Amino acid sequence: MVIPQQLERAVKEKVASGKYRSPEELVTEAVSRLIEEEDAARRDLSWLEKELQAGLDSPAREMTEADWEQLRQRIERRVNAS
């Protein structure tokens, strides 16, 4: 596998700093973090999809300003908790 020189340099610097024992350790941690972030994003989308479906399944009515504000606050809390 060939990686850009800039990334190779960054990997060597991180290993030289002593934070990682080898390039493999750094790459393993980086890929693990990426997978965790993708899983978290997928869970967040799943939550939003469920909320949207619940809204579609509920009896039709006009959204009030209070409804929109409550929805905005719930989404902000969820995003900030991530």
Query: Helices 23-57 and 5-16, interaxial angle, to 10°?
Result: 110
Task: Tell me what pLDDT residue 36 has.
Answer: 93
Low-confidence spans in the chain with pLDDT less than 50: none
Predicted local distance difference test score (pLDDT) of residue 50: 85
Burial zone of 56 (CB within 10 Å; 0-12 exposed, 13-18 middle, 19+ buried): exposed
Rounded-to-integer distance, Cα 76 and Cα 81, Å: 8
According to DSSP H, which parts of the chain are helical? 5-16, 23-57, 65-81
Check residue 82 and give its pLDDT: 67
According to the model, what pLDDT value does residue 42 have? 80
Entry pTM:
0.53
pLDDT at residue 6 in the model:
95
